[in-house]
Chains A and B, each alone.
Chain A
């Protein structure tokens, strides 16, 4: 592609063809992929809703097991990284490579920090006895269950759904960070993105905003209610 990058408008459909959707393939492909991702998260979130409503007893009250404050900060961080992604996109649309590189780097750092905080949160939770299978015997949380602060009957489901949903979201964030870092070093740093060719930024941006959006839903239903 390098041979054509400077002169050919890469943001058009790939080669002379019957009129399709007037977007280039990578962007269309990403939208289609995101449709598939919606179904994937719908399966996980739908499962959560069904299990929670059909649970044999009360669900644990918010804020007892999970630390809402840290995660609220993490949510803020992820939303900021979405903003910096938009800034990177706007910069390259203006042809400003330097600003684009800065904002892309900020996005990568924001995403990486999110994953880091999530890993820290997981380690912390496991230490306190919160496992995918429920509450570990003899742990700090087990005492709360014994005291009746936490419902014994549903802690297993709570752990199962929490780790699966947030874990797969974290996996998606990690994939996004890796892709952005790859684009940063192979395309953005060598200056391959131009005013006429910024498909990679736009496409990875779509993915990034999607991941962000999923997190806002997950944060609400898992942590807040």
Chain B
């Protein structure tokens, strides 16, 4: 890879003679790879959403033919009525697509790739070719997962957590090829993440522009750095577990089958040892980008920059010590359960630090409620709700009551949809001009935001109540239980809200596509932000800078008394600024 690292900086911004395939398909340009990730994972986001809509139909209108369900084959929904074995596939594949192929690549694949070199002032990633492999490995994994929906026995059926032995033994799950394809696909996703992570870490450590010291890094880069470390160390465990699961499925090994000496709980330990760091992989980049957007929207320096950094590190570190809280009900020594409870509750401390810092940033700020800011504020609010319900479940006595109910469904959607996805909508709108050179429509963006915000809460908030009432997490037909029948109107309300929520996303996608060609040209720095990426034209050229920028200050110098404007970019040299030592060494 030395070859690529060395050539990357000799290729300059202004002669771009790559062929179409090298430029847009097998590209090694971090920005193109980021955009490739964006399109592919938005596609999977829609797939995941479509699967969720079918689930909501069954829950709102159990046993009734689904409109348009006639196109599904007899094995899934004869006459449009969803079968139980298809419903459990919907549950499994919705979770899998959303976690592994939508939120994770949207946060890490898109924004780590797109933002890291732009924000630290590098020409490209440290290993552009490995970066390309990371993307294509993700695509292969995605296609394998997608194809598993169409195999004869149907897709995987053991839930996105793939608990053994249901997942390991085909005679238990009733799906053979679908289960195997799930394992294969996850191995590819793991490879993609590991390759990406080692690239991000190396780039951030070694390729920062002169003057970009560690504590001048934007919080988005800090959070992506810590996320990359989590991904680097957590994904190989998942890959190892998925490989053993695959061997159980195709080679008849006995890792997870208790009938012949294997241990079903072992799968849960391996999965959640990966799974809890994964939770922070899914939220830390969102927190980082929200920090950038909130400082920009408040026109104030971020409140407590250092404590924000240490909170990210603290969350990531504690994230390794808490996996057992997913397994309180799996048969665990109560003493061990208590220690997992305490370590989990500790995570509330750095999380609260971050929340207070965001509020401290907004406090008496000169607020600009542009679309990214609206999404960022919604992120903070929804994250608080999701975080608080997380504390309920971290407490073992409460968890015993609400475990595997709709309470957990509400909780995880409050952090993954209300948290990560709102942050992502904000991030997409915020960096859209740097990606495509045009602005997304502000008006339609606000319409989309408010509809999403309202219907999102209508969809997921009542799920807390359903969960408290004992509504099981993956149940096919809640009306089969007398005690759940009174809640059927609420289920129907949730389903209608979910359909409207899904429909509202149409506005976003139309806005996205329309703005690609017809959006207002963006100019260099449309949000009046401080990051290095705004020193480039929009869209940023191949190789980014002809000559690397020099960094003179931290990323959040808003409303500085030193300049007339209310922002002071990192790359802007004031007469009082000294050249950083590294820039002098480099002959800048």
A residues with CB within 8 A of B: 1, 4, 10, 13-21, 23-26, 28-29, 32-33, 35-37, 39-44, 47, 50-51, 54-57, 132-134, 153-154, 156-157, 159-161, 163-164, 168, 197, 199-200
Q: B343-385 toward A: CB 8 Å interface, digit per residue (1/0)?
A: 0000000000000000000000000000000000000000000
Q: Is there contact, CB below 8 Å, between B262 and A133? A: no
Minimum CB–CB distance for A180 against chain B, Å: 15
**Among A18, A23, A54, A197, which residue has its beta carbon within 8 angstroms of that of B212?**
A18
Q: Is there contact, CB below 8 Å, between B266 and A20? A: no
Q: Which 9 A-B pairs have the closest CB atoms?
A: A16-B586, A43-B240, A160-B253, A40-B236, A20-B206, A133-B252, A18-B208, A1-B6, A39-B236
CB of B482 closer than 8 Å to a CB of A: no
9 contacts between A and B (CB under 8 A): A1-B2, A15-B207, A18-B212, A25-B206, A32-B197, A43-B270, A47-B270, A51-B263, A164-B253
Counting chain B CB atoms within 10 Å of each CB, the highest count among A18, A40, A132 belongs to A18
CB of B411 closer than 8 Å to a CB of A: no
**Among A10, A13, A33, A168, which residue has its beta carbon within 8 angstroms of that of B198?**
A33
Residues in A with CB closer than 8 Å to B198 are: 29, 32-33, 36
Task: Tell me the bound Cα distance from A122 to B237 in angstroms.
Answer: 26
Minimum CB–CB distance for A187 against chain B, Å: 10
Q: Is there contact, CB below 8 Å, between B122 and A17? A: yes
Counting chain A CB atoms within 10 Å of each CB, the highest count among B122, B255, B270, B582 belongs to B255
> CB-nearest residue of chain A relative to B580?
A18
Q: Is there contact, CB below 8 Å, between B251 and A17? A: no
> CB-nearest residue of chain A relative to B200?
A32
**CB under 8 Å from chain A, chain B span 206-245:** 206-213, 232-237, 239-241, 243-244
Q: Is there contact, CB below 8 Å, between B206 and A14? A: yes
Task: Tell me the bound Cα distance from A133 to B209 in angstroms.
Answer: 54
Residues in A with CB closer than 8 Å to B3 are: 1
**CB under 8 Å from chain A, chain B span 3-17:** 3, 5-7, 9
Residues in B with CB closer than 8 Å to A161 are: 255
Residues in B with CB closer than 8 Å to A57 are: 261
Q: Is there contact, CB below 8 Å, between B270 and A16? A: no
Q: Is there contact, CB below 8 Å, between B262 and A51? A: yes
Q: Is there contact, CB below 8 Å, between A16 and B236? A: no
Residues in A with CB closer than 8 Å to B194 are: 33, 36
Q: Is there contact, CB below 8 Å, between A28 and B586? A: no
> CB-nearest residue of chain B relative to A32?
B198
Q: Is there contact, CB below 8 Å, between B2 and A132? A: no
**Among A36, A54, A156, which residue has its beta carbon within 8 angstroms of that of B232?**
A36
Residues in B with CB closer than 8 Å to A42 are: 237
Task: Tell me the bound Cα distance from A47 to B268 in angstroms.
Answer: 12
Residues in A with CB closer than 8 Å to B6 are: 1, 4, 10, 14
Q: Is there contact, CB below 8 Å, between B252 and A17? A: no
Task: Tell me the bound Cα distance from A83 to B580 in angstroms.
Answer: 44
Counting chain B CB atoms within 10 Å of each CB, the highest count among A10, A16, A161 belongs to A16
> CB-nearest residue of chain A relative to B241?
A43
CB of B318 closer than 8 Å to a CB of A: no
Are A14 and B207 also in contact (CB < 8 A) when A47-B270, A157-B261 are?
yes
Q: Is there contact, CB below 8 Å, between A36 and B262? A: no
Task: Tell me the bound Cα distance from A181 to B167 in angstroms.
Answer: 40
Task: Tell me the bound Cα distance from A23 to B2 in angstroms.
Answer: 12
Q: Is there contact, CB below 8 Å, between A47 and B255? A: yes
Are A200 and B2 also in contact (CB < 8 A) when A40-B237, A44-B240 are?
yes
CB of B420 closer than 8 Å to a CB of A: no
CB of B414 closer than 8 Å to a CB of A: no
Q: Is there contact, CB below 8 Å, between B262 and A25? A: no
> CB-nearest residue of chain B relative to A157?
B261
Are A26 and B206 also in contact (CB < 8 A) when A14-B6, A36-B194, A160-B247 are?
no
Residues in B with CB closer than 8 Å to A51 are: 255, 261-263, 266
Residues in A with CB closer than 8 Å to B122 are: 17
Minimum CB–CB distance for A167 against chain B, Å: 9
Residues in A with CB closer than 8 Å to B551 are: 18
Minimum CB–CB distance for B280 against chain A, Å: 16
CB of B548 closer than 8 Å to a CB of A: yes
Minimum CB–CB distance for A123 against chain B, Å: 16
Counting chain A CB atoms within 10 Å of each CB, the highest count among B5, B206, B551 belongs to B206
> CB-nearest residue of chain B relative to A162?
B253
Residues in B with CB closer than 8 Å to A157 are: 254, 260-262
Counting chain B CB atoms within 10 Å of each CB, the highest count among A25, A35, A42, A197 belongs to A25
Q: Is there contact, CB below 8 Å, between B582 and A19? A: yes
Are A132 and B247 also in contact (CB < 8 A) when A16-B586, A16-B587, A32-B232 are?
yes
Minimum CB–CB distance for B531 against chain A, Å: 16
CB of B329 closer than 8 Å to a CB of A: no
**Among B2, B130, B260, which residue has its beta carbon within 8 angstroms of that of A156?**
B260
What would 13 more interface pairs be, CB under 8 Å, given A20-B207, A39-B237, A50-B263? A10-B2, A14-B126, A16-B582, A17-B209, A18-B213, A18-B551, A24-B2, A32-B201, A36-B197, A39-B240, A47-B270, A51-B263, A160-B253
